[in-house]
Amino acid sequence: MTSRQSPGSRPRRGRSAGSRQGMRPSRGVTARAGASGALSVGSGIGLLATSGWLITRASERPPVLELCVAIGLVQAFALGRGVFRYLQRLSVHDASLEMLGRLRLRLFDALEPLVPGGPKVAAGASGAGGGSGAWLNGFVADSDAVAQGFARRSTVAVHVGASILLGGALAYVLEPDAGLVLVAGALVLVAAALATGLAGREAAEREADARARLAGAVMETVRAARELSTYGRADLLERRLGEAGRSAAEAARRRSVVLAAGRALVTLVSGGTLTAVVLTGLCAEQAGRISGVTLSALAFAALAVLDHCSTLPSALADAHAASAARRRISALAQVEPPVVEPGPSRAARLPGGGPIGARLDRVEVGYGEEPEPLLGGLTLEVAPGRRVGLVGPSGSGKTTAVHALLHFLECRRGQASVGGVDVRELDRGEIARHVGWLAEDVHVFAATVRDNLRLGRRDATDADCTRVLARVGLSSWLDSLPEGLGTVVGSGGRQLSAGERQRLAMARLLLVGCRVLLLDEPTAHLERASSDALLGELIEAAGARSVLVVSHEPGIGRLVDDVVTLGGGPAPSAPSGPSPLGAA
C-alpha cells in the first residue's frame, strides 16, 4: 500500500496560525480603545490649551468668575485625560491579551503535529537558526512581541491621529494660518519618523533574529551543561554563549543608533514646527487678529500635538520587531507536518468493546525525501489481549515503529492500523482515547498527583486515582505523601525516582482507559537489578489490554507472548503459551 495523499489534498490543522486574522482582536474592543484614546488626547490638548490661556489671562487680573470657569475646565480636562487614558489602556490590554491567547492557541495547533515527528521536522519548522530554542522563541517571545507591538502601535496611532485632527482643528479656530502650519509641520514630522523607521526595520529584524539565536544557544547550553562540566569543558559553554550574546548586543546597538537618529530628527522637526507656529501667531497678534492670551493657548495646543507625535520613532521600532516576529510565526505555521489528519467528517471511529489489536504490515517509514528509510518493511501484529516484545539494537527503528502506530510519522509504504482501522483514517483524539504511549522519558507536571493523573480524564474521582495507583504498585508511596493525592510533585514539589515516574505515567494511561498500550523503553533509565522487576509489574498492570513492549531487557521473552527482533541478531526466547503473568 502506498503512502497517503499529498498534504495539500486534505485540510491541515493550524494553517491559519500565522494569518493576520489570527492576530487581530475583535472590532468592538478595538473601537472602544480608539474612542477612549481619542477622548484622552482631546482632554490633554484641552488641558494644555486652557492652562496656557489661564496662566496668561490671570496676569491681566480679569474677573474672578472668568478665572473660576477656566480653573474648572482645567480640572475637568485633567480628570478626563486620566480617566479616558485608563479606559484606553484597559481596552488595549484586553484586545492584546485576547489576540495573544487566540494566536498562541492557533500556533500550538499548528506546531502540535510537528513535535512528535522528531528533530528533523523540528529543524524544518524553526524560524531562526533551528533548535528547540527557536521553537521556544517562536512560541513564547514572538507571540508576546506581536501582542505588545499591537498594543504599542494602536495606542500611538490613535494618539498621533487624534492629536493632529483635534489639535489642528483647535489651532485653526484660534488662528487659521497657525493651524495650517501646525498640521503641515505635524505631517512632516510623521513623514520623518516613517522614513527613519524604514531605515531601522532591518536593524530591528536583525536584533530579533539575534535574540532568537541567543535563546537557542541558551537552551542547548542548559541541556549540555552537565556533560560538558563532567569532561571539564565548561569553556565551550562560555564560548558559545559569548558569541551569541555579542551578536545580539551588536544588533541591539545598531538598532539603538537608528532609533536615536530618528528621535533626533523628530525633535528637530518638532522644534521647528513649534517655532513656526509661534512666529505665525506673533504675526497674527501684531496684526490684531488674535490677543496675547489666545497666542498662549495656541502655543500650548501645538506643544501637546507635537508631544504626541514625538513618540512615533520608538513605536515604529517596536512595530518592526513585531513584524519580524509575525513573519517568523507565519513561516513556522506553514511548515508541513509529517502527517495529515482526516477532517472531522471523514475521521473513522474504532469499534467498541474489549481489547483491540495493532498491526504494522510491511511498513516503511522515512523523513521527507531522504532515500534511506528509518524503518523498512516491518510486519508486526499485536493481537487483541496479547503482549508482544519488540527488540533490536539502537537505531534499528523500534521507536519509529511505535511512532508509526501513533501516527506521529507517515508510512511511505505499507499500513499501520489499530483495531483493524488504518491510523491515517483516525484523528489525533481517537488515537489518544484508545492507544496509550509510555515513553522512555515521561513528563511529570509541576502539579498535584491528582492533576497529573487526571490529565487525560478530567472526571476521574479520587477513588479512581487511588485504584490505578494501587494497580501499578504505588499504594505505599501514596500513603507516604504528606497530602496524599493533593501533594505537589515535579518541578518545585516532591521529586520522583525514575521508577516512580514510570509507574505514575502508567497509572495515567490506565485511568484514561486505553485499550492498546505501547511501552517504549520504560526501564531505560533504571539499573538492571530493578528494571526487570518494574517491567514485569508494568506489563502485569496492563491486565487484558494489548501491549507492545520495546525493550533491551534480555528477559523480555519471559514477560510477553511473542518477540519480534529488528536489525538481525537472536531474539530473546518467548514462551510458547500465554504469558506467565496472565491477564489481570
Q: What is the pLDDT of residues 145-194, one digit of tens each?
A: 888 888 888 888 899 999 999 999 999 999 999 999 999 999 998 888 88
Give the CATH architecture of domain 11-202+262-333.
Up-down Bundle (1.20)
Residue 494 has pLDDT above 80, yes or no: no
Domain 11-202+262-333 identical in fold to domain 358-565 = no
Confidence bin at 83 (pLDDT 50/70/90): very high
Range in 72-76, 241-245, 520-524, 544-548 with the lowest mean pLDDT: 241-245
Residue 512 has pLDDT above 80, yes or no: yes
Q: What is the pLDDT of residues 282-305, one digit of tens each?
A: 999 899 899 989 999 999 999 999
pLDDT at 122 (0 to 100): 47
**β-bridge pairing 387-391 and 375-382:** unpaired
Residue 130 has pLDDT above 70, yes or no: no
pLDDT at 180 (0 to 100): 94
Confidence bin at 135 (pLDDT 50/70/90): low
pLDDT at 481 (0 to 100): 87
The span from the CA of 517 to the CA of 124, in Å, is 30
Range in 403-412, 440-449, 469-478, 523-532 with the lowest mean pLDDT: 523-532
5 or 511, higher pLDDT = 511
Residue 584 has pLDDT above 50, yes or no: no
Which residues 6+ apart lie within 8 Å of 504 measured at CB? 442, 444, 449, 452, 453, 469, 472, 474, 489, 496
- All three cell numbers of 135: 521553537
Chain position carrying cell 545580539: 248
- 380: nearest Cα among 567, 566, 568: 566
Residue 216 has pLDDT above 80, yes or no: no
DSSP states along 249-284: HHHHHHHHHHHHHHHHHHHHHHHHHHHHHHHHHHHH
Confidence bin at 275 (pLDDT 50/70/90): very high
Q: What is the pLDDT of residues 527-574, one digit of tens each?
A: 666 777 788 888 888 888 889 988 877 778 888 888 888 865 544 544
pLDDT at 338 (0 to 100): 73
Q: What is the pLDDT of residues 309-354, one digit of tens each?
A: 888 887 877 777 777 777 777 777 777 777 777 877 788 888 777 7
Q: What is the pLDDT of residues 190-210, one digit of tens each?
A: 888 888 777 777 777 777 677
- The domains of the chain are located at 11-202+262-333, 358-565
The CATH fold of domain 358-565: Rossmann fold (3.40.50)
Cα–Cα distances (Å) from 89 to 215, 238, 314, 583, in that order, read: 30, 42, 18, 63
In sign, the C-alpha dihedral spanning 284, 289, 291, 293 is negative
- The b/e string for 302-331 (b: 16+ C-beta within 10 A; e otherwise) is bbbbbbbbbbbbbbbbbbbbbbbbbebbbe
